[in-house]
Amino acid sequence: MSNLISERVADFLRRYPPFEELTALDLERLSLEVEIMYKEKGGYVFREGEDTHPHFYVVNKGAVDLRRTETGEMVDICDEGDIFGLRPLMAGDQYRLEARAREESILYAIPIESFRPYVTTYEEVGNFLIESFASNTRNPYSKEHAGVLVSGEAVAAKRAPARFSELLPVIPTKRIVSCNPETPVWEVAALMTEKNVGSVLILKEGLPVGIITDKDLRNQVVVGRHPISAPASEVMTHPVLTYPQRLTITQAQLAMMKHDISHLCLTEDGTPDSPVTGILTKYDLMLALGNNPEVLMRAIKRTRKIKSLKPLRGQIAHLLQGYLEHNLPMSIVMKIITELNDACVKRVIALSLKKEGPAPVGFAWLSMGSQGRGEQLLQTDQDNALVFEPVAAQKLEATRSYFLNLAERVTRGLRSIGFEYCPADMMASNPEWCLSLDAWKEKVGGWIQNPGADQVLLSSIFFDYNLTYGKSEPVRELSEFIFEQVGEHPAFCGHLASGALQNPSPTGFFRQFLVEQDGKHKDFFDIKKRALMPLTDAARVLILSHRIKGINGTAERFEKLAELEPNNRELFLSCSYATKALLKFRTKQGLRHGDSGRFIALDGLSKEEKVKLKRTFKTIKEVQELLAIRFKIATFPI
Amino acid sequence: MKSKANKGGSRWNPARWWTARSRPDEEDKPLEALRFVVLDTETTGLDPERDRMLSIGAVRVHGGRILVKEALELYLQQEHFNRKSVPIHGILREGTHPRIAEAEALRLLTDYTGDSLIVGHHINFDKAILQRGLYRQGMQPLRNTCLDTGLLYQNTLLKTPLLRKKEFYSLDDLARRFDLPRTDRHTALGDAYLTAMALLHILDLLKGKGIHTRKQLLKAGRVG
């Protein structure tokens, strides 16, 4: 007996080993026994040391992390169709790993008692299990790790990619192949062939005096300038350019470019007068550079399926982590990461357009909020809007429905690669946010002319828009319209400013942190609402009142303001600094906890971190006071 | 149809059920411990008085899991037949599924639901047409507490003036929001399953809104 649900379960399982081996009837029977469960992001399926469940699990949708609890070491990431938690059941063991949902996931729990008979009756199923267990043990990372069951290549492919590495120290080849100045060239060549290297160092009393590369052999010997019996000293390139062992990858690249060489000789103190410690080749560098923004960018542009952007987004997160660990300037980090995120969004739109067919008129896809400001470092919500060029009235409905369909496809695609839906539905797939240029003008004009609380809030989100994809003309026209309107309705800035002062204060009367009172994040500090938003809002209204276009980033806006108002220079520069510091803080927190970093557990912070945070609060207070005075807002308690 | 509720000998009994519900520990039961039956009916039309059930689908959700084996799928014999609904449901009068009489189907269903919370998308309609059928067959009306996933979903949404909430979120809206496959739409069990999947997502979102107990859940999504 089967039912509609068990048929769907069977349809899914049939696509993956070892279930593909089962006969239709057996699979039908097994599917009937399945329990379907939902795990929220971060939810535990089982914990290390826990007694085994009567089920093992197959990922139907989403992904599950398998880690060692103590070290947090990631052993494997299981995604669609992967089995986990089976080996301890077969071995009658405890769970040796913890399994947590990496993202919202749907799992099939299969009772081991229903599955066990097939292990013996089907040779292929048994073999599959043996092979998977074995290939896992072969893998140094998952030695003795019970609970994992995926094929060997999959494990290798899914292993976390190398971190961002331009600033990492280079890892030179330690195995140095060397000879004396007197060694005949043919012997040198034989040595190179034997050791399978492209260069040999010529050492005299342990110090490098020259180097012979493949190129030297070609240019000096093969062309007939020297006989093969000539001593190495006559053929070698000298003096050797030596470098210190603590070289970053970028430095090494520069050195190779500058001297047009492909091998660097590293010595103890960087001079030719100290012993050689290693050789660094171009190949070593290329290996290390497996993960850099350029490579990622190229990969993003080459994707043919939205789905394949997802792992790249993971690599972007790794890149970000590397940047932060190496304390790169926040403004550069933001630019690079924003570019990469933007490229992903662009790619999703381009791929969706291909499916949906060409657009009937020109349009622009706008990113709003943090993405529009270029401050979206972590995977947070998507806020977007769509504006299309005016069309004739009779074509309006058809045009709108085309763009709504397109937007629906894009937002769904974005969600599938980790941009969550906007909880307030501010997305281009919402008919309110997918309008013709004229309709947008009318809408935005309405906000500016009658600024109530809602209109101010809407403006504050919308006005940070940035063109992500499509034509720039409608966007420019809209921007000009906004500035015109703001000029005609000076009261609007006042409302916007008073909106900016509505944000709750970060600290209480006794300068203690104010934490959330209830809800999911009770007792957490909301860094977005209490610290970042006041700055963002202040920058927006000030820059708008100066009628400056085209600067969207909060930090950049403050820098511009510092330039425009020399008397407030100090304050604005410290605002800019505070913004960057807070963003960095939030990003680090987010990476540490695998979330948006918005809610911070105060007891997890060091004393130093708390002091740093509090220092930014003083700046926030000062800029709020400035707003209150400038825009004559009486209600703000100074 | 064997069900866990029956093992305890608690075939649905209104008197027992009322006493059980008023116990305070029952009120404070965490969401994970609640028993839900998610159901959907396919009907000949939208008028509970005139139209009839074509099929009933139901799944059990317990401990955050959907038990595949215990899914219920009933096809009813038809006297009343509305040709217009065939293209939607794909149920023809002489379908391939074995059909049973309405009385038998309703008996199986009430056995199945026991004292579980009944959940459905826009459950008021399903409830009305079920009650009508029970009345027709001279059976006791359903007394189970009913929850509406449409209403529950409303409660997961952000409370902000910026979000113009729809008055009515369709099952397709929910499927889109939670990225659920819509392959078996407009079959009773397919819709019940889709609703059950949506329920699992919604329950998690509700926890984020501070809803952890039976009492709080009923406040958020109880109908009728």
pLDDT in tens, A466-484: 889 999 899 889 888 988 8
3-class DSSP assignment, residue A303? coil
Q: Which residue has the tokens 């992390």?
A: A65
Q: Give chain B's domain count.
A: 1
Residue A153 pLDDT more than 60? no
Q: In this model, does residue A151 exceed pLDDT 70?
A: no
| Beta-carbon separation of A5 and B207 below 8 A | no
Check residue A385 and give its pLDDT: 93
Nearest-Cα distance to chain A for B50, in Å, is: 29
| CB-based contact A37 B64, cutoff 8 Å | yes
CB atoms within 10 A of CB A277: 16
Nearest CA in chain A to B210: A519
Q: Once rounded to an integer, what is the mean pLDDT over residues B43-65?
A: 90
* Tens digits of residue pLDDT in A482-517: 888 888 888 888 888 888 887 777 777 666 777 777
Residue A297 vs residues A341, A345, A364, A412, B207: alpha-carbon distances, Å: 10, 12, 22, 22, 39
Q: Are residues A477 and A330 in the same domain?
A: yes
For B141, the token pair is: 């009306």
Asked if the model's pLDDT at residue A20 lies above 50, the reply is yes
**CA–CA separation, A117 and A568 (whole Å):** 78
Give the pLDDT of residue A378. 73
pLDDT digits (tens, 9 = 90+) for B7-45: 444 455 554 544 445 556 778 889 888 999 999 999 988
For residues A157 and A315, is the Cβ–Cβ distance under 8 A?
A: no
Residue of B40, B69, B159, B200 for testing the chain A interface, max A β-carbons within 10 Å:
B69
Q: Check whether residue A211 and residue A226 sit in a common domain.
A: yes
**Which two tokens mark A604?**
């997890």
Residue A340 shares a structural domain with residue A273? no
Q: Would residue B14 count as lying in a domain?
A: no
Q: What are phi and psi for residue A286, nearest 5 degrees?
A: -60, -40
End-to-end CA distance of chain B: 28
Q: Is residue B28 part of a domain?
A: no
Report pLDDT for A110. Answer: 93
Residue among A1, A2, A4 with most chain B CBs within 10 A, to mutate:
A4
Give pLDDT, residue B11. 53
CA dihedral B209, B215, B217, B219 (to 10 degrees): -90
How far is the alpha carbon of A571 from chain B, nearest alpha carbon, in Å?
33
In the DSSP assignment, the letter for residue A168 is S
Comparing A13-27, A65-79, A525-539, the range with the smallest average pLDDT is: A65-79
Domain termination residue (choose one: A270, A288, A306) = A288
Tell me if A421 and B177 make a contact (CB, 8 A cut-off): yes
Shared domain check, A309 and A429: yes
Confirm or reject contact between A493 and chain B (CB < 8 A): no
Task: Quote the pLDDT of residue A156.
Answer: 33
Q: Per-residue DSSP letters for B89-111? A: H---TT-SS--B-HHHHHHHHHH
Strongest mean pLDDT among A257-266, A502-511, A616-625: A616-625
Q: Find residue A214's DSSP bridge partners.
A: none
Strand partners, A213: A199
- Segment A258-268 mean pLDDT: 83
Q: What is chain B's mean pLDDT, rounded?
A: 82
State which residues form the domain around A240.
Answer: 178-288
What pLDDT score does A136 carry?
47
pLDDT in tens, B94-132: 456 788 899 999 999 999 999 999 999 999 999 999 999
Task: Please indicate, yes or no, whether residues A463 and A602 belong to a single structural domain of this protein.
Answer: no
Domain contains B76: yes
- Chain A nearest C-alpha distance from B211 (Å): 9
Supply B173's token pair: 């809206």
Judge contact between A537 and A503, C-beta under 8 A.
Answer: yes
Whether residue B70 lies within 8 A of chain A, CB to CB, comes out as: no
pLDDT at B87: 57
CA distance A416 to A312: 13
Same domain, A385 and A459: yes
Same domain for A129 and A234?
no
**Could you tell me the CATH number of the domain that includes residue B210?**
3.30.420.10
- Residue pair A619/A575 in contact (Cβ under 8 Å)? The answer is yes
Asked whether residue A393 is assigned to any structural domain, the reply reads yes
B89 touches chain A (CB under 8 A): no
Q: Which residues of A touch B189 (CB under 8 A)?
A: 3-5
Strand-pairing partners, residue A107, are A37, A59
Q: Per mean pLDDT, which range of A4-8, A17-21, A149-153, A546-550 is the poorest?
A: A149-153
Taking the Cβ of residue B21 and every Cβ of chain A, the question of whether any pair is shorter than 8 Å is answered with: no
Which of A362-366, A520-524, A545-549, B2-6 is most confident? A362-366
If asked whether residues A316 and A416 sit together in one domain, one would say yes
User: In DSSP terms, which residues pair with B100 in a beta bridge?
Assistant: B76
pLDDT confidence of residue A168: 56
Among B145, B90, B159, B81, residue whose Cα is nearest residue B113: B145
Q: In the prediction, which pLDDT does A139 show?
A: 33
CA dist A79 and A330 (Å) reads 33
A457 touches chain B (CB under 8 A): yes
B177 touches chain A (CB under 8 A): yes
Whether residue A199 is contained in a domain is answered as yes
Give the pLDDT score at A141. Answer: 34
Query: What chain A residue is nearest to B208 in terms of C-alpha separation?
Result: A520
Give the span between the Cα atoms of A143 and A152, in whole angstroms: 13
Check residue A334 and give its pLDDT: 83
Count of domains for chain A = 4
A356, HSE (Cβ side, Cα atoms, 13 Å): 21
A162-218 pLDDT, tens digit per residue, is: 444 455 566 666 678 889 999 999 999 999 888 778 889 998 888 888 899 888 888
A519 in the same domain as A456: no
User: Which pLDDT value is given to residue A483?
Assistant: 86
- Mean pLDDT score, A327-343: 85
| Distances from the Cα of B113 to the Cα of B20, B22, B190, angstroms | 15, 19, 18
One domain for residues A302 and A259: no
Q: Which of A35, A415, A518 has the CB atom closest to B68's CB atom?
A: A35
CATH number of the structural domain spanning residue A218? 3.10.580.10
- Is residue B195 within 8 Å of B149, Cβ to Cβ? yes
Q: Rounded to an integer, what distance in angstroms lies between the CA atom of residue A551 and that of residue A425?
A: 26
Q: Encoding tokens for residue A515?
A: 């934490």
A33: chain B residues, CB-CB within 8 Å:
68-69
Interchain proximity A8–B64, CB inside 8 Å: no
Residues 6+ apart with CB under 8 A from A512: none
Residue A404 has pLDDT above 90, yes or no: yes
Tell me the pLDDT tens digit for each residue of B161-203. Answer: 667 777 788 999 898 888 888 888 888 999 999 999 999 999 9
Q: What is the band of B152 on the pLDDT scale with cuts at 50, 70, 90? A: very high
- Residue in A44, A12, A35, A39 with CA at minimum distance from that of residue A103: A39
| Torsion of Cα atoms, A348 then A103 then B70 then B195, to 10° | -50
What is the average pLDDT across A310-335?
A: 81
Say whether A424 and B176 touch across the interface (CB within 8 A).
Answer: no
Q: Which residue has the higher pLDDT, A248 or A497?
A: A497
Nearest CB to A458 within list B162, B189, B207: B162
Average pLDDT over residues A613-637: 81
User: Of B64, B68, B163, which has the smallest distance from its Cβ to A424's Cβ?
Assistant: B163
Q: Enumerate the residues of chain A whose CB falls inside 8 A of the CB of residue B161.
A: 453-454, 457
Q: How far is CA A583 from CA A117, A218, A343, in A?
A: 55, 55, 21
Q: What is the pLDDT of residue A348?
A: 95
CB of B159 less than 8 A from some CB of A: no
pLDDT tens by residue, A427-473: 999 998 999 999 999 998 988 888 887 888 888 888 888 889 999 89
**Residues of chain A positioned with their CB less than 8 A from the CB of B162:** 424, 426, 454, 457-458, 461
Q: Are strands A199-204 and A178-179 parallel, antiparallel or unpaired?
A: parallel
What CATH number does residue A403 fall under?
3.30.460.10
A-chain residues near B179 (CB < 8 A): 61, 412, 415-416
Q: What burial letters (b/e) apply to B133-158, b meaning 16+ CB within 10 Å?
A: bbeeeeeeebebbbbbbbbbbbbbbe
Residue A519: the pLDDT is 67
User: What mean pLDDT is reported for chain A?
Assistant: 82
**Domain span at B43:** 33-223
Is A38's CB within 8 Å of B200's CB? yes
Query: How far is the CA of B173 from the CAs of A428, A613, B170, B178, in angstroms?
Result: 16, 42, 5, 9
Q: What pLDDT, on a 0 to 100 scale, did the predictor assign at position A258? A: 79
Is residue A456 within 8 Å of residue A495, measured between CB atoms? yes
pLDDT at A380 over 80: no
A contacts of B56 (beta carbons < 8 Å): none
Dihedral angle computed from the Cα positions of residues A426, A552, A322 and A296, in that order, rounded to the nearest 10 degrees: 70
> What is the structure's pLDDT at B224?
66
